[in-house]
Structure 1
Amino acid sequence: MKLRTTVAALLLAAVVPVAAACGTTAEAASTSTSTSTSTSTSTGDTGFAGGGRGGPGAVDVSSVTTEEELVALVQEAYGDAGLDLHRGHQPVQDVLDEVLTISHDELHVRMDAGQNLAAVAEDLGVDPQTLVDALVESWSPAIDDLLAAGTITEDEAEQYRAALEEAFTFRVTWDGEEATPTFSGLDA
């Protein structure tokens, strides 16, 4: 009986952090709710749904109304290295579901076995660039909206799209070792 209790405790200790990262616990949901109402743009607290911690819900690209928020969105695209290969995939889960066509649980099994998103895609016969392109496309409306509002120029919009592609390429191909770059905006 003691062995079963110990094994159960170990499993719970391993599962709860991953479940929280994917937004499958009530605590993660309440954390995301309070985070998503914030307007701070500090690392890990971007003010977007998911709050930079991989909480429930997708990033709401329609909420980006300033260039500062766009910079935070690009940084968010890199993911959170503190969540290992998962990198807080919940904000991009809809795209992962659509492109990879596997369940969230299967994705976890593969990532827990050491596969990054590129390896998962390749195993499924999907070119990792297809995944990167879909991720960029899903977050590009934030750039388009700022361009349409006159907040950024066409040249700046292209630079932000390139930065978003670089960030998502990093996220998809992350080897588990390389430090996450910091995106602080376009170079002057």
Structure 2
Amino acid sequence: MKTTIRKATATLAVLATLGLAACGATTGETTTTSATTSTSSSASIGSTTEGTTSAAAAPQMPAGGPGEGMGGGPGGVDPSSVTTEEELVALIQSAYGDAGLGLHRGHQPVEEVLNEVLGISHDELHVRMDAGQNLATVADEVGVGQDALVAALVDSWSPAIDTLLADGTITQDEADQYLADLTEAFTYRVTWDGTSATPTYSGLAA
């Protein structure tokens, strides 16, 4: 009988020990999980605070996009990027310039050529145009001549025509006509009197 009681007591002791061990493990895991969760929450709060601070410190871009209000006419004209006949037609249309941008009809697309050929500063060109001179008059007065200016402008954009001719998109006859049309467009730009309406270029006549 005593032996049985001792065995039962021993069994109960083992079970109690196992139970305590299990509680200890569970408690430890819970503590660890809580600590991890607490740490993660703190990190998340820190990140949120950092993000808010960065957003508040970030400079605001002016409305209207990059370059808005800088003037000088439409930029980004790159004859070397023309790969289709439709793009060539659009390029020749842009050679006429924009009547809303003064007698030069927009400097940016052709500014490098104007600076090189006319040999005067951008500011001086503006002063002359404010006085009523168009590009043809300026070219004549600086001793270049309007024909030379037109030729230089055409030379700067005609590689677009050469590209389409070389890859077979257009024929030689079509290339010759496009060159004549480009020359006409730049002649209009250079000699514009400030009043006539800008022609619409839709490509070669059928």
Matched, 1:67 2:103: no
2:157 aligns to what? 139
| 1:30 is the counterpart of 2:53 | no
Matches within 5 A, 1:161-176: 161-176=179-194
Alignment of 1:81-92 (within 5 A): 81-92=99-110
The alpha-carbon deviation at position 88 of structure 1 amounts to 0.7
Q: For structure 2, which runs of at least 5 residues remain unmatched after alignment? A: 1-61
Residue equivalent to 2:34: none
1:68-127: per-residue Cα shift (whole Å, max 9, x none)?
Answer: 000000000000001121311210011101110000111111111111000001110111
Question: Which digits, 9 at most, give the CA deviation of each residue in 1:30-89, with x for residues without a partner?
Answer: 157xxxxxxxxxxxxxxxxxxxx72445x2111100000000000000000011213112
The aligned runs of 1:1-188 (5 Å cut-off) are 30-31=66-67, 54-56=73-75, 59-188=77-206
Q: Which string of whole-angstrom CA distances, capped at 9 and with x for unpartnered residues, describes residues 7-49 of structure 1?
A: xxxxxxxxxxxxxxxxxxx8888157xxxxxxxxxxxxxxxxx
Larger-Rg structure = 2
1:144-182 deviations in Å (ceiling 9; x for gaps): 000001000000000000000000000000000111111
TM-score computed with the length of structure 2 as normaliser: 0.65
- 8 Å contact 1:29–1:55 — kept in the other structure? no
CA distance in 2 between partners of 1:137 and 1:28 (Å): 34
CA distance in 2, matches of 1:28, 1:185: 32
How far apart, CA to CA, are the structure 2 residues paired with 1:28 and 1:92? 24
Counting matched residue pairs gives 142
Q: Pairwise CA RMSD of aligned residues?
A: 1.8
Q: Which structure's residues are more often helix, by fraction?
A: 2
Structure 1 residue runs without a partner (length 5+): 1-25, 33-52
Which residue identity is paired with 1:123?
A: E
Identity %: 72
Aligned partners of 1:125 and 1:169: how far apart in 2?
17
Q: 1:166 to 1:98 in 2, by over 3 A?
A: same
**What amino acid sits opposite 1:104 in the alignment?**
H
